[in-house]
């Protein structure tokens, strides 16, 4: 198949669809050699379109067997033509309403892109978002075309006993001659084709039910490969919790009689919200305490919630075009965050979110693929399922929530649904509903959707003892990003408080205010620079800023070390309390790194150890919070603070600090460890036990750095015998990094034990890929040849190559360039199989301009080698081209 040089798609070129589809009747016949798809589309011209464009449908890799218009077979060349294999253009006039039928053959068994209809091992399934439906049949593949679907699926009854599609069964299953059978499905809700799904396979079904608050009985079905039935109970409970939570928080009810989730092992992303038939990566459904970590469990809960919440924010109200992706994703991530906070510790959840935003989204927004939450141009839309669209998008929604308050936000959501249910809309429509419901002008807020880059907020404070006033000044600025040289100020809600000398919040009353003032309040910054004067402040306060991480900005304030230690001890806001410790640790680690780079002796000041010890020894603290507070910022996060990342010195400094803490506080670590170990229960998944394991294993992660035979034996024993995967992984991670002589033995025992469990084998790959040991590149090369490795299974690629390229700053950036070469080879090979996954791996070079000249050159060589490949996908082409365009310094 040939294809012309890909052209970018632009938001400004949007035009309404010239033709609409009312009904889709699909007959899918799964045969041995191929699958035949007969589509019958009931269509009409769109009165809202300017008219007279020819009828044009999207396709990809379809073998067209027939095209029939109103019962009359069309001839290629005279009645229609196919351009580049991607557009079917009917050159005959069509009526105001008409029926178009096509018959195509597709080949799911050899579909390695995992888009459209494909074989995920024994399970055949679809993935249509964003543009996979065109790989199934000719169709106007855009989200603003919404239709009612009826689907008939036919296949061998023994190999594919289960045949599913969206909606409700439409009649009984029919037996057909030759051991075949047929199932029909009908979805009463009009939907864009990206929400279409079908599944065929030999699957086990675990069933439960939910009664909505208006009394509708909904069957809940989880379909998994046989043998995995005992790993769905957690996800099932999470689904019921999500349904109940959404009713209570937003008044949203399930609108279906059945809600099904299918788990497949080969999937490009986490999960997909297809109407009533979610398809999930096994990694986001299956979980059992002996095989999944606590982090995995919480992630399953979040993703189950996320896909369910899409039913209202995404499916019933969908996107007008793909530029509006964050309309559904940002809002739905915000909703899944609210859900996770309601089910777990809100403080720990918020800290996780902030940390992830800083490490991943800030890096993206400061790099060559920086784009606004609502991008305005793309080559491959799949490249825009990013941390910016998802996580920064969620922060934008959260800021609205902060500014409007819980009740105001809810009023906005109610109005949004009342106005737009059943429609395909834009980010502006969401914002307008929020504004109108609250009688507010939110027009400046649109800048959060259209402007890329992470705003910097520089804060300073002056205390005037005689006037008893404290003046806080905030300056915002944004560095230029690709395509956006000039930036405008944005409205930034800064939640803050002022701590008095006793560590308690003072009433924060602004000049001119009559009331006393809340102790924690939101300042809205709208100008490039703004000052706020607080009155009746008896003594110099310590400001606590950006509480709860109230805006996705980089905030600085010239806190002294004493002030940071004070905040760590007293801040009533857990996020800011945690963050004070992070700021302190970052400062120290950057200083140590510089010292190391200049060959000087690194020193750890006593006040840092004291502050650390205070948290470790404070038994009244929530263990989950203590564990996050005692985790030092990672090497990536530290690297982001450096103009030129000092890869090796950063690692040396961080390791030295960890060792030093481990040795100095060894007794405390040991005492805490034994105390917590006494409370352990490997099956328990409640917050208290998750927190206990987190802190216990944090203690072990420090103790593991001590060269002591007893401790090392304890680590080996935990790796081999612990009954809970969180505990096993904590011990394995220590071994992966260290020089324990039993390391290799334990790794092979682990593989022996878990070789049959793919999700656990993924962990085995990723532990080795993220090791800081100097032989890691060689190990990864070897592991790529391992019988269990496959470039065709995204989970494997993400575990091994993703682990190495994205989670191992030290070894990926090894100065000999071997890490870059390995990843270059992998991208080239992957691109021919699965462009979505290849392009995701290609973002690993995104930070190349932040390294020294030698490393920059080595990375450039790899990128140029990738670009020189024939038939490079538009996905990888777009990422690599943009990355190479990054200017020399920033």
Q: Which residues are catalytic?
A: 307
* Residue 273: burial class (beta carbons within 10 Å; 0-12, 13-18, 19+): buried
Residue 268 or 850 with smaller CB distance to ligand TRP: 268
Part of the chain binding ligand TRP (CB under 6 A), chosen from 265-273, 289-297, 505-513, 558-566:
265-273
Per partner kind, with CB cut-offs from 5 to 8 A, the member of ligand TRP, Zn ion, none near residue 563 is: none
Residue 98 or 222 with smaller CB distance to ligand TRP: 222
Distance CA 181, CA 158 (A): 9
Part of the chain binding Zn ion (CB under 5 A), chosen from 189-197, 332-340, 512-520, 877-885:
332-340
Q: In the range 278-307, which residues lie near ligand TRP by CB under 6 A?
A: 306-307
Least distance from C-beta 314 to Zn ion, angstroms? Answer: 7
Residue 265 or 314 with smaller CB distance to Zn ion: 314
By the rule CB under 6 A, 848 interacts with ligand TRP: no
Per partner kind, with CB cut-offs from 5 to 8 A, the member of Zn ion, ligand TRP, none near residue 129 is: ligand TRP
Q: Which of 187, 273, 353, 737 binds ligand TRP (CB under 6 A)?
A: 273
Structure tokens at 313: 């924010």
Per partner kind, with CB cut-offs from 5 to 8 A, the member of ligand TRP, Zn ion, none near residue 568 is: none
Q: Which DSSP string do the residues of 509-562 spell out, in sequence order?
A: PBTT--S---SSEEEEE-SSEEEEEE----S--EEEESGGG-SSSEEE----HH
Part of the chain binding ligand TRP (CB under 6 A), chosen from 33-41, 185-193, 269-277, 748-756:
269-277
CB atoms under 10 Å from CB of 129, counted, come to: 25
Residue 299 or 463 with smaller CB distance to ligand TRP: 299
What does the per-residue mask of binding to ligand TRP show for 120-139, with x meaning CB under 6 A? -------x-xx---------
Least distance from C-beta 800 to ligand TRP, angstroms? Answer: 20
CB atoms under 10 Å from CB of 184, counted, come to: 20
Residue 139 or 820 with smaller CB distance to ligand TRP: 139
Closest alpha carbon to 384 in 324, 436, 337: 324
User: Using an 8 Å Cβ cutoff, are 137 and 104 in contact?
Assistant: yes
Residue 329 or 391 with smaller CB distance to Zn ion: 329
- The sign of the torsion formed by the CA atoms of 695, 697, 703, 708 equals positive
Q: What angle do CA 115, 116, 118 make, to 5 degrees?
A: 80
What does the per-residue mask of binding to ligand TRP show for 320-349, with x meaning CB under 6 A? ---------x--------------------
Q: In the range 382-411, which residues lie near ligand TRP by CB under 6 A?
A: 385
Least distance from C-beta 332 to Zn ion, angstroms? Answer: 5
Part of the chain binding Zn ion (CB under 5 A), chosen from 35-43, 316-324, 331-339, 609-617:
331-339
Part of the chain binding ligand TRP (CB under 6 A), chosen from 53-61, 176-184, 268-276, 472-480:
268-276
Question: Checking DSSP bridges between strand 318-319 and strand 277-281, what pairing results, if any?
Answer: unpaired
Closest alpha carbon to 148 in 69, 62, 43, 71: 43
Question: Checking DSSP bridges between strand 146-156 and strand 180-192, what pairing results, if any?
Answer: antiparallel
Least distance from C-beta 267 to ligand TRP, angstroms? Answer: 6
Part of the chain binding Zn ion (CB under 5 A), chosen from 22-30, 322-330, 719-727, 810-818:
322-330
Q: Backbone phi, then psi, for 403, in 5-degree steps? A: -75, -35
Least distance from C-beta 131 to Zn ion, angstroms? Answer: 16
Kind and range of the H or E run holding 200: strand 198-201
Q: Which of 269, 300, 546, 719 binds ligand TRP (CB under 6 A)?
A: 269
Least distance from C-beta 130 to Zn ion, angstroms? Answer: 12
Q: Can you name the residues that pair with 165 across neighbouring β-strands?
A: 198
Residue 269 or 351 with smaller CB distance to ligand TRP: 269
CB atoms under 10 Å from CB of 290, counted, come to: 14
Distance CA 704, CA 662 (A): 8
Q: Backbone phi, then psi, for 774, in 5-degree steps? A: -70, -15
Distance CA 617, CA 844 (A): 39
Q: Which of 238, 272, 292, 653 binds ligand TRP (CB under 6 A)?
A: 272
Least distance from C-beta 304 to Zn ion, angstroms? Answer: 12
Residue 112 or 818 with smaller CB distance to ligand TRP: 112
Least distance from C-beta 292 to ligand TRP, angstroms? Answer: 20
Residues whose CB falls within 8 Å of the CB of residue 212, separated by 6 or more in sequence, listed in order? 218, 243, 247, 253, 254
Part of the chain binding Zn ion (CB under 5 A), chosen from 82-90, 325-333, 478-486, 878-886:
325-333
Distance CA 243, CA 211 (A): 9
By the rule CB under 6 A, 364 interacts with ligand TRP: no
Query: Tokens 């050899």, residue?
Result: 110
Per partner kind, with CB cut-offs from 5 to 8 A, the member of Zn ion, ligand TRP, none near residue 268 is: ligand TRP
Q: How many residues bind ligand TRP (CB under 6 A)?
A: 13
Length of the chain: 890
Distance CA 537, CA 534 (A): 7
Least distance from C-beta 427 to ligand TRP, angstroms? Answer: 16
Per partner kind, with CB cut-offs from 5 to 8 A, the member of ligand TRP, Zn ion, none near residue 886 is: none
Q: How many residues bind Zn ion (CB under 5 A)?
A: 2
Per partner kind, with CB cut-offs from 5 to 8 A, the member of ligand TRP, Zn ion, none near residue 724 is: none
Q: Which residue is nearest to ligand TRP (CB)?
A: 269
By the rule CB under 6 A, 271 interacts with ligand TRP: yes
Least distance from C-beta 310 to Zn ion, angstroms? Answer: 6
Torsion of Cα atoms, 240 then 245 then 250 then 256, to 10°: 0
Contacts 24+ apart (CB under 8 A), 659-668: 659/705, 659/706, 660/604, 660/609, 661/604, 661/609, 661/612, 661/702, 662/702, 662/703, 662/705, 662/706, 663/706, 664/609, 665/609, 665/612, 665/613, 665/616, 665/702, 666/703, 666/706, 668/613, 668/616, 668/617
Structure tokens at 549: 């991480």
Interface positions with ligand TRP (CB under 6 A): 127, 129-130, 267-269, 271-273, 306-307, 329, 385
Interface positions with Zn ion (CB under 5 A): 329, 332
């Amino acid at each position: 198949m040939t294809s012309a040089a890909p052209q970018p798609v632009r938001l400004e070129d949007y035009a309404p669809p010239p033709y609409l589809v009312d009904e889709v009747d699909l007959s899918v016949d799964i045969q041995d050699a191929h699958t035949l798809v007969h589509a019958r589309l009931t269509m009409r011209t769109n009165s809202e379109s300017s008219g007279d464009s020819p009828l044009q449908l999207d396709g990809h890799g379809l073998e067209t067997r027939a095209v029939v218009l109103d019962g009359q077979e069309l001839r290629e060349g005279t009645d229609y033509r196919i351009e580049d294999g991607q557009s079917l253009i009917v050159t005959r006039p069509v009526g105001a309403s008409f029926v178009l039928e096509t018959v195509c053959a597709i080949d799911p068994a050899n579909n390695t892109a995992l888009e459209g209809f494909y074989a995920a091992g024994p399970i055949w399934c679809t993935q249509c978002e964003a543009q996979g439906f065109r790989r199934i049949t000719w169709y106007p593949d855009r989200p603003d075309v919404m239709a009612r679907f009826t689907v008939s699926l036919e296949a061998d009854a023994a190999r594919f006993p289960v045949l599913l599609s969206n909606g409700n069964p439409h009649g009984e299953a029919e037996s057909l001659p030759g051991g075949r059978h047929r199932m029909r499905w009908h979805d009463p809700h009009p939907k864009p084709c990206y929400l279409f799904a079908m599944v065929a396979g030999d699957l086990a079904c675990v069933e439960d039910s939910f009664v909505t608050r208006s009394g509708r009985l909904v069957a809940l079905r989880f379909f998994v490969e046989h043998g995995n039935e005992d790993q769905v109970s957690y996800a099932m409970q999470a689904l019921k919790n999500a349904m109940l939570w959404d009713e209570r928080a937003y008044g949203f009810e399930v609108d279906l009689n059945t809600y099904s989730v299918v788990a497949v092992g080969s999937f490009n992303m986490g999960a997909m919200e297809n109407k009533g038939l979610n398809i999930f990566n096994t990694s986001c459904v299956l979980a059992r305490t002996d095989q999944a970590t606590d982090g995995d469990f919480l992630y399953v809960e979040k993703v189950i919630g996320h896909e369910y919440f899409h039913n209202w924010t995404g499916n019933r109200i969908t996107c007008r075009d793909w530029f509006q992706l964050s309309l559904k994703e940002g809002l739905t991530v915000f909703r899944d965050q609210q859900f996770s906070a309601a089910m777990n510790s809100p403080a720990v959840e918020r800290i996780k979110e902030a940390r992830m935003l800083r490490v991943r989204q800030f890096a993206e927004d400061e790099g060559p693929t920086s784009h606004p939450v609502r991008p305005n141009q793309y080559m491959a839309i799949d490249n825009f399922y990013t941390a910016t669209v998802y996580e920064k998008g969620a922060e934008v929604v959260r800021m609205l929530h902060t500014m409007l308050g819980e009740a105001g936000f809810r009023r906005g959501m109610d109005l949004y649904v009342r106005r737009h249910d059943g429609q395909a809309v834009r980010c502006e429509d969401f914002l307008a509903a929020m504004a109108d419901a609250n009688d507010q002008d939110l027009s400046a807020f649109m800048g959060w959707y259209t402007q890329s880059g992470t705003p910097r907020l520089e804060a300073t404070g002056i205390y005037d003892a005689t006037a008893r006033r404290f003046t806080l000044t905030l300056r915002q600025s944004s560095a230029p990003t690709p395509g956006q040289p000039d930036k405008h100020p944005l409205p930034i809600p800064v939640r803050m408080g002022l701590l008095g000398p006793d560590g308690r919040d003072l009433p924060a009353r602004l000049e001119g205010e009559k009331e006393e003032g809340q102790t924690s309040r939101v300042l809205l910054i709208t100008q490039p620079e703004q000052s706020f004067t607080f009155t009746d402040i008896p003594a110099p306060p310590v400001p606590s800023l950006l509480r709860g991480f109230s805006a996705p900005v980089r905030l600085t304030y010239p806190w002294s070390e004493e002030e940071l230690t004070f905040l760590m001890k007293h801040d009533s806001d857990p996020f800011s309390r945690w963050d004070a410790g992070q700021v302190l640790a970052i400062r120290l680690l950057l200083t140590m790194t510089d010292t190391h780079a200049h060959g000087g002796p690194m020193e750890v000041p006593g006040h840092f150890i004291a502050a650390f010890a205070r948290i470790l020894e404070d038994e009244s603290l929530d263990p989950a919070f203590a564990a996050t507070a005692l985790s030092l910022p990672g090497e990536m996060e530290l690297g982001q603070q450096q103009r030129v990342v000092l890869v090796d010195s950063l690692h040396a400094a961080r390791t030295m600090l960890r060792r030093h803490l481990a040795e100095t506080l060894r007794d405390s670590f040991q005492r805490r460890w034994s105390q917590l170990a006494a409370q352990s229960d490997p099956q328990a998944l409640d917050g208290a036990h998750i927190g206990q394991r987190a802190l216990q294993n944090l203690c072990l992660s420090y103790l593991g750095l001590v060269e002591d035979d007893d401790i090392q034996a304890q680590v080996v024993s935990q790796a081999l015998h612990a009954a809970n995967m969180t505990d096993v992984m904590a011990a394995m991670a220590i071994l992966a990094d260290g020089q324990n002589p039993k390391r290799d033995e334990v790794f092979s025992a682990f593989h022996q034990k878990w070789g049959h469990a793919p999700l656990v084998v993924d962990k085995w790959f990723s532990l080795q890929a993220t090791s800081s040991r100097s032989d890691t590149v060689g190990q990864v090369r070897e592991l790529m040849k391992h019988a269990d490795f496959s470039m065709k299974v995204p989970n494997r690629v993400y575990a091994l190559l993703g682990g190495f390229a994205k989670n191992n700053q030290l070894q990926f950036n090894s100065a000999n360039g071997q890490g870059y070469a390995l990843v270059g080879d992998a991208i080239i090979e992957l691109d021919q199989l699965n462009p979505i996954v290849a392009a995701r791996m290609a973002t690993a070079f995104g930070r190349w301009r932040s390294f020294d000249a030698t490393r920059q050159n080595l990375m450039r060589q790899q990128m140029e080698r990738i670009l020189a490949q024939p038939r490079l996908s538009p996905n990888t082409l777009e990422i690599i081209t943009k990355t190479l365009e990054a200017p020399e310094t920033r």
